[in-house]
A and B are shown apart, each in its own frame.
Chain A
Amino acid sequence: MQERKMRLSPREAAHTEVGHGGHSAGHHGHDEHHEHEHESLKTFGFWLFLMTDCILFASLFACYLVLHGNTNGGPTAEELFEMPGVIAETFILLTSSFTSGLAVLAMHKKNLKGLITWLAVTVLLGASFIYLEVDEFLKMVHEGATISTSAFLSSFFTLVGTHGLHVSLGLCWMIGLIFQLKRHGITPVTMRKVNVISLYWHFLDVVWIFVFTIVYMMGVM
C-alpha cells in the first residue's frame, strides 16, 4: 500500500494541473488514466471510512443489546414498537438501495438523464423513510417515551437516530450531487462521487437490516 501511495504522488500533481488548466489536448488520454487511478484510490479510501463507521454502529448495537432490558418502569420494546410503519420503512429503504444501484448502472451507460432520475427517485424514497421515522419518534415522545425515560430508550434513540442522521446526511449529499451532475455531466470525478454515494447508501441499507432484525423484530418477538 505504502508503495502504491508513493507512486501516486507525482500523479496527484498531474491531476491538479488538469483541474486548473483545463483539457490540454496532447496529454488528454494520459492524464485521464492517472485521474482514473486517483479516483479509484479515493473510492477505496471511502470504503475504509465505511469500515470505521461499522465500528461506530457496532458500539451502539452493543450498547442497545446490553441495555434493552432496563426499562426503568417505562414502556418495553414490545409495548412501544408499531411494526406496520417499520415494515414500510424497511421496504422503502431496500427499494432505494436498488434504485441507487440503477443510477450507477445508468451512469456506466453514459445516460446522464437516467442517472439523475434514479438518484432523484432514491432521494424521494430516502425522504419518505426519514418522514416515517420522524413520525414514529414523535408518536413515541407524545406517549411519554423519550430519550431520558429509560436506558432502553436512550440506547434505542441513539442507535436508530444515528442511522437516521446518516440517511439524512446522505440525502443532502445526493441532492448536491444531482446539481453537480447537471453542471458538469459524467466525468471521472463525478463518476467516482456517484460510486461512493451508492456504496454509502448500500451500507446504510445493511445497517438498517440489522436495526430491523435486532431492535424491532427481536423487540416484538
Chain B
Amino acid sequence: MASQQNHADAHGAHDGGHGSLKSYVIGFVLSIVLTIIPLVLVLNDIVEGTAAKVVLLVTAFLQFVVQLVFFMHLKEESKPRYNLMSLLLGVLLVLTIVIGSVWIMTYNKVG
C-alpha cells in the first residue's frame, strides 16, 4: 500500500513544479540584487577582512537558495521529497570535502 502512495506522489512531483513568470522574474531580480550587493560593498572597500568574507559567502548562499526555490522549484516538490533529500546529501558531501580539506591543510604546515 505504501508503494501505491509513493507512486501517486511521484507522479505529481513533476506535474505542478514549473512555476510562473512571476516567480522567475522575482528570482532573476533577487539574483541580480544579490550580485550587486557584494560588488558594491567589497570593491569599494566599504567592508573589509572577515566582514567582507561573511558578506560574500552569505550573499552567495542566498543566491544558491534563490536559484533552488525560484528557478528549480524545489519548494513545489511533493512528498516523498527525494530531490530535496539527495540535495541535502550533496550539500553535506560538498561541505565535508571543502571544509575538511581546508581545515586539515591549514594545520599541515610542516616545521
Which residues of A are in contact with B by a Cβ distance under 8 Å? 1, 3-4, 7, 36-37, 40-41, 43-44, 47-48, 50-52, 54-55, 57-59, 61-63, 65-66, 83, 87, 90-91, 94-95, 97-98, 101-102, 104-105, 108, 195, 198-199, 202, 205-206, 209-210, 212-214, 217-218, 220-221
Contacts and interface: CB of A to CB of B under 8 A. Distances in A.
Interface of B: 3, 6-7, 10-11, 13-14, 18-21, 24, 27-28, 31-32, 35, 38-39, 42-43, 48, 52-53, 56-57, 59-60, 63-64, 67-68, 71-72, 82-83, 86-87, 89-91, 93-94, 97-98, 100-102, 105
Given A1-B82, A221-B42, A58 B102 contact: no
| Chain A interface mostly | helix
Nearest to A3: B3
A78 to B, nearest CB: 12
Contacts of A48: 86
B86 A37 contact: no
B24 A102 contact: yes
16 contacts: A4-B3, A4-B6, A4-B7, A36-B11, A47-B83, A55-B94, A94-B32, A94-B35, A101-B71, A104-B18, A105-B19, A108-B18, A198-B71, A209-B60, A214-B56, A217-B38
